[in-house]
DNA sequence: AGAACCGCCTGCTTGC
DNA sequence: TGCAAGCAGGCGGTTC
């Protein structure tokens, strides 16, 4: 599922591919997306990521805001042949971008653009002291807090597991009981893990592909996610899987207390 | 207010 | 082999 590194990968590729280009046409193939107007004639002026959402800024002051949710993909093709599970497409002079999504969870909206800063962005205006002031006393579990997009944007299930493993903290740890040192560890590992995943063009554990249909390379860096039953690289213990508010969660019981 | 739960979806896996 | 049930999960909305 696309999280911050995957969406960042797509945005960088989109920027190179469609910036300053005119949209010749758009077309919807899914009744759930019937509301989207035709963006014919609009020129792309910027492509920006905010958390897990992609914003394609247009020259008329509107933005096409895309959220891929679980199984959504954006795919560049030179030919107009529709890939399986296509739900929407944009046509450019030199090719097409298809929104491909078998589960139909992905959303596309056209909104009036408002200048919003990099608030709650882990590589933006994010500040640990501010987060602690707002949420430091919460009774919820740390993994749940990390995945709450209103707290910090971009972290999903895979990276939450990987960050907490590297920080040596149990996903069910209650937020209010974390020490200052542990908070710093989580924050620095979050930046570290996400930065490395961006460099590897994302994690293709199931169906993530980039704009050109290629897999990422970060799945080879995973230490706990999907590694149930395997040996922990640090302590030699066995990686286990638990359910945390309905979501599959991977950890090393030896390293994460 | 804050935490937990539900529904949206459909391909894939599991079990009989 | 075939078919049904169960599973996966981000996020907005609802409930407790």
Q: Could you please report the per-residue DSSP string of A55-124?
A: EEEETTSEEEEEE-TTT-EEEEESS-PPPTTEEEEEEETTEEEEEE-TT---EEEEEE------TTBTTT
Domain that holds residue A45: 4-112
Estimate the share of chain A in helix, then strand, then coil, as percent rounded to the nearest 5: 25, 25, 50
Active site annotation includes A153: no
User: Assign residue A201 a region: left if phi > 0, alpha if psi is -120 to 50, beta otherwise?
Assistant: left
Rounded Cα–Cα distance for residues A99 and A56 (Å): 14
**Looking at the predicted structure, is the pLDDT value of residue A60 above 90?**
yes
Does residue A154 share a domain with residue A79? no
Q: How high is the pLDDT of residue A235?
A: 94
Hey, what are A193's tokens?
């893990």
Q: How high is the pLDDT of residue A156?
A: 92
- The last residue of a domain, from among A62, A87, A112: A112
Does residue A137 share a domain with residue A84? no
Catalytic hit among A42, A49, A52, A201: A52
Q: How high is the pLDDT of residue A182?
A: 94
Dihedral, CA of residue A176, residue A181, residue A187 and residue A191, to nearest 10: -160
Percent of chain A with pLDDT over 90: 77
Which residue reads 């909104």 in tokens? A111
Domain assignment present for residue A36? The answer is yes
Active site annotation includes A2: yes
Hey, what are A204's tokens?
């293709």
- Kindly report the bases of strand B lying within 7 A of a protein C-beta atom: 2-6, 8-11
What average pLDDT does chain A have?
92
Domain assignment present for residue A122? The answer is no
Rounded to an integer, the average pLDDT of A21-48 is: 94
Total-model pTM: 0.95
Å between CA of A164 and C1' of B5:
25
Q: How many domains does chain A have?
A: 2
CATH number of the domain that residue A42 is part of:
3.20.190.10
- The last residue of a domain, from among A55, A86, A112: A112
CB A105 under 7 Å to nucleic chain C: yes
Does residue A144 share a domain with residue A93? no
Q: Which residue is nearest to nucleotide B1 (CA to C1')?
A: A138
CATH number of the domain that residue A225 is part of:
1.10.8.50
Domain assignment present for residue A212? The answer is yes
Q: Which residue is nearest to nucleotide C11 (CA to C1')?
A: A69
Does residue A80 share a domain with residue A150? no
Rounded Cα–Cα distance for residues A219 and A192 (Å): 15
For A74, how many CA atoms within 13 A lie in the half-sphere containing its CB?
A: 31
Does residue A180 share a domain with residue A150? yes
Catalytic hit among A2, A42, A201, A223: A2
Domain assignment present for residue A256? The answer is no
Does residue A237 share a domain with residue A132? yes
Å between CA of A61 and C1' of C8:
38
Domain assignment present for residue A118? The answer is no
- The last residue of a domain, from among A83, A112, A141: A112
Does residue A243 share a domain with residue A145? yes
Rounded Cα–Cα distance for residues A186 and A184 (Å): 5
Domain assignment present for residue A119? The answer is no
Q: How high is the pLDDT of residue A119?
A: 83
Å between CA of A59 and C1' of B13:
47
Å between CA of A178 and C1' of C7:
33
CB A51 under 7 Å to nucleic chain C: yes
Q: How high is the pLDDT of residue A82?
A: 93
């Amino acid at each position: 599922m696309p999280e911050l590194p995957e969406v960042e990968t797509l945005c960088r590729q989109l920027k190179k591919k469609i910036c300053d280009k005119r949209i010749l046409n758009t077309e919807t193939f899914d009744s759930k997306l019937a509301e989207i107007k035709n963006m014919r004639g609009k020129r792309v002026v910027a492509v920006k990521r905010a958390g897990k959402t992609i914003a394609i800024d247009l020259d008329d002051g509107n933005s096409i805001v895309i959220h891929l949710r679980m199984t959504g993909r954006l795919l560049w093709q030179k030919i107009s042949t529709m890939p399986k599970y296509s739900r929407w497409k944009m046509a450019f002079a030199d090719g097409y971008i298809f929104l491909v999504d078998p589960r139909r969870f992905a959303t596309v909206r056209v909104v009036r653009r408002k200048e919003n800063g990099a608030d709650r962005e882990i590589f933006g205006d994010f500040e640990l002291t501010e987060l602690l002031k707002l949420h430091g006393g919460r009774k919820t579990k740390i993994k749940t807090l990390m995945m709450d997009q209103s707290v910090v944007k971009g972290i999903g299930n895979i990276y939450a597991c990987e960050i907490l493993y590297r920080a040596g903290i149990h996903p069910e740890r209650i937020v209010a009981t974390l020490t200052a040192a542990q908070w710093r560890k989580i924050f620095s590992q979050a930046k570290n893990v996400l930065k490395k995943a961006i460099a590897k063009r994302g994690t293709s554990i199931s169906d993530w592909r980039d704009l050109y249909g290629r897999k990422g390379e970060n799945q080879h860096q995973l230490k706990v996610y999907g590694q149930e039953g395997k040996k922990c690289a640090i302590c030699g213990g066995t990686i286990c899987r638990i359910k945390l508010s309905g979501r599959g969660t991977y950890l090393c019981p030896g390293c994460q207390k």
